[in-house]
Amino acid sequence: MKMTIATLGELLVEFLAKKENQGFSSPGEFWGPYPSGAPAIFADQVAKLGFQSLLFSCVGNDAFGEMNIARLRRDGVNVKGISVLPHATTGSAFVSYRSQAQRDFIFNLPNSACGLLSAEHLDGKLLGQCNHFHIMGSSLFSFRLIDAVRKAISIVKENGGTISFDPNIRKEMLNIREMSQAFEYILDYTDFFLPSDGELDYFGLSKSRDELQIVENLLARGIKHIVIKRGPRGASYYSTQEQHHVTGYPVDVVDPTGAGDCFGATFVSLFLAGYSIPDALAHANAAGSLAISTRGPMEGTSTLAQIKALMG
């Protein structure tokens, strides 16, 4: 049976401020609309690598929704899990850059089409064909979405599949009570945990700020694989048996959005396909570097050939 990787969550369009520190309180110029959404970028990257990729989401019956579906279909994503809602509009996000590393967002998600995604929109037959399910923390902004995640976890786990979780924390969403509660539930079912080093403190179960102590606590909880994303400094892998640390691929930063999603999709896909851990990490780092080299959240997804070319 072919490996199929599924995910669910926000599918939206994104507008990028043209100038650094442009902000949102006065008129300014924006690039866009670009297809976006962390789960959508993840799904697109999986498909570009040549693996079976399935996304569950909702869009409105509008041009933004049509653009997103067309882009994902073109890149090989199975779009049968995307519902078109006639009385809702496709989600959107506006991004302003304080620096290459710091961004401010205005999201229109909870009241958009993807915010209405629920367990009822998940086709159990489609999910039953999946070997792996990936969860983005940015998708946990409503009880409806959390219920959908629970349903997906249940079906994939019952069929012997695995779960990966990227917390993908946005400061604009940390005040959403449902999100922090869902994190605890999801960690109990997580096989692959993919935080950035800046997010790790949030999961310091003993209130420790020591990375190794936090990792040990998470492994003791039952998580099998922990991958810490460090941007241009590379990445680290931890399990109860081994550790690996690999360096990054320095490139000029054009747009950092989507780098972590491309990293996670590449590591999970290649690990499940049988790549060694150091090799999967190295390819994931290269995918992240390619992602930040191009303007637009989904414009930097890459094929295996492009990744290998960057690796030299």
Whole-prediction pTM value?
0.95
What per-residue confidence (pLDDT) applies to 169? 77
Q: Which residues of the chain have pLDDT under 70?
A: 1, 99-101, 170-178, 204-208
What per-residue confidence (pLDDT) applies to 163? 98
The β-bridge partners of 162 are 132
Are residues 182 and 144 in contact, defined by beta-carbon separation less than 8 angstroms?
no
What per-residue confidence (pLDDT) applies to 10? 96
The three-state secondary structure class of 255 is coil
The β-bridge partners of 31 are 16
What per-residue confidence (pLDDT) applies to 97? 84
What per-residue confidence (pLDDT) applies to 203? 74
Residue 310 φ/ψ, nearest 5 degrees: -65, -35
**How many helices and strands in the chain, by DSSP H and E?**
9, 13
HSE toward the beta carbon, residue 233, CA cutoff 13 A: 7
